[in-house]
Every structure is written in structure tokens, then in C-alpha cells.
Chain A
């Protein structure tokens, strides 16, 4: 059914490179340091700080998904990318839906407690 590929072919199939790892690692390091020192220095407080930290963590996750996990870099048909997009959709439904419902319940049921 399937021809077993040779080692050379498989080694070519994996997209990792020194350049991608350098970008991914240094980028992640910068984002981590930036988040950490934003919290320590308290230049921002309250909601703006929370939103900035969320943004930084999302950017770092995208960076790692692209440079470490090679999302979107496979040849067509891009099944891995499709699965990734579907996972994000389900994740958003779970996370936003739960937060919405639980906050709503909290407001309606826990009044005066």
C-alpha cells in the first residue's frame, strides 16, 4: 500500500532549521522577559496590564506554533493547518462560552451572597 520512505526523504520532510529555532527561541525569550518585567516594574496596572500580558502570551504562542511546530508550512493539502483552525474554533467556543455563562450565572444567582 504505502512505500516506506527512505531516511533521507523523511529527514527532508521535517521542516526544522537553525534559523527558525534561533528566531523562535530569541523571540520567545524577549516576550517572556518583557511580560515578567512589565509585572515587576508596574509601569502598567489593572486592566491595561492584563490585556498587554494576554497579547504578549498570544504572540509568543503564535511565534512558537510557527517556528517550532511549523503550522501552515506543510505542502498541500494542509490537513494539519485545517485541524489547527478547527481546534481554535472549538477552543474559542469552550473558553468564551464558559466565561460568558459562568459570569452571567454569577451575576444572576449569587446576588447578595
Chain B
């Protein structure tokens, strides 16, 4: 009993450091874990997409995607989100060179773009609801609001995360931990842009045909 306890409390006499493994560091462990989350999030969006694909003709006498959706709005949203993806990447490139002010500038721009994306989407949603086309109207609208709303909720949480990161960088500078978090945030933001490509194509472009 006491033997097993002492064994637990003594350090490993010969830690296996003979083979230097560059992938055992905390940076790539964290990015791998976050990547794993993003991959599962991909599956969440895949199920929502396929639900939308199955239900999109079940309009129950309500509006269908052709009469409801406006392509120019979605096109502008696409350009905004794509540009914000670029500016967040440029921010991280500034962080790579430890340029704090440039990073904060790019992230502020990314925040403005992301916030305007969410604002346009909210405006679109409120218009639909005021016109009586809310998510309770038909299976098509339920799946539409779930799919596009889930993406919007992700973007909104990204905006909150961005605010926190700007505060962290402002007060503590570009530290090891902050750079790691910035890389994770950047992955998240690019991932949301990839999801939006499919929303733009399958919901909006193919929806208005």
C-alpha cells in the first residue's frame, strides 16, 4: 500500500526524452484539439445542411426559397465575410511579426466586418418574421432559420471572442499564450467562412433558381 503510494509520488526516473518529438508541445496539442472541435462542428453543419435539403420544398403553403430570399443581400454578406477572413489572417500575420498595433488594427477591422455581417443577417431575419415568415411557418423556414441561424450564432460568438482577444493583446501584449489563442481564433473564423460558402451556394444561389 505505502509502496504504491510512494511510487505514485516519485517522479519518473527516466522520462522518455531520448526522442525529441516536436509534436508533443502544448502549441500543436492545443491546435490539434481545436481542429478536432472544428471537424465535429463541420458534422453539425452537415446535418443541418442535409435537413435543409430534405425539407426545403415543404413550404406548407408559405413562401418558398425562390420568393423569399434575396440574392444581392447574400452576395454582399459573402463579400463581407470573405474580406473579414482576409483581415483576420493579416492580423495574425502582424502578430507573427509581433506588431501589436497592426494586429489590433486588423482585428478591429475584422470586428467591424463581422458585426456588419451579423447586422445584415439580423435585418434579413426580422424582415422575414415581420412579414409572417417566421420559423413556425413551415418546415422549409424551420430548417432555414436553424441552418443560417446556427452559422450566425457562431459568428456572434466569434465576435465576443475577438473582443476578448483584443483586450488580452491590448493589456498583455503578444505573449506565447495569446499567440496560441489568436491562431485558434483565426482557425475558427476561417472555418465559418468555409461554412458560409456552402450556405451561399446551396441556400441562396440554388434557392433562387
A contacts, CB < 8 Å to B: 1-7, 10-11, 13-14, 16-18, 21, 24-25, 28-29, 32, 35-36, 39-40, 45, 49-50, 53-54, 56-57, 60-61, 64-65, 68-69, 74-75, 77, 79-80, 83-84, 86-87, 90-91, 94-95, 98-99, 102
Q: How far is the CB of B58 from chain A (nearest CB, A)?
A: 10
In contact, A16 and B93 (Cβ under 8 angstroms): yes
Q: A39-B71, A57-B202 are in contact. Are A83 and B209 (CB under 8 A)?
A: no
B contacts, CB < 8 Å to A: 15, 22-29, 31-32, 35-36, 39-40, 42-43, 46-47, 49-51, 53-54, 71, 75, 78-79, 82, 85-86, 89-90, 92-93, 95-98, 174-176, 179-180, 183, 186-187, 190-191, 193-194, 197-198, 200-202, 205-206, 208-209
In contact, B93 and A21 (Cβ under 8 angstroms): yes
- Which residues of B are found within 8 Å of A49, using beta-carbon distances? 209
- Which residues of A are found within 8 Å of B32, using beta-carbon distances? 79-80, 83
User: How far is B82's CA from A32's CA once the two chains are assembled, in angstroms?
Assistant: 10
Most buried by A among B22, B50, B90, B95: B50
In contact, A7 and B190 (Cβ under 8 angstroms): no
Given contacts A10-B176, A56-B201, A99-B50, 17 further A-B contacts (CB under 8 A): A2-B29, A4-B25, A5-B25, A7-B176, A16-B186, A17-B93, A21-B89, A32-B75, A39-B205, A49-B209, A54-B202, A64-B85, A64-B193, A69-B194, A75-B23, A94-B46, A98-B51
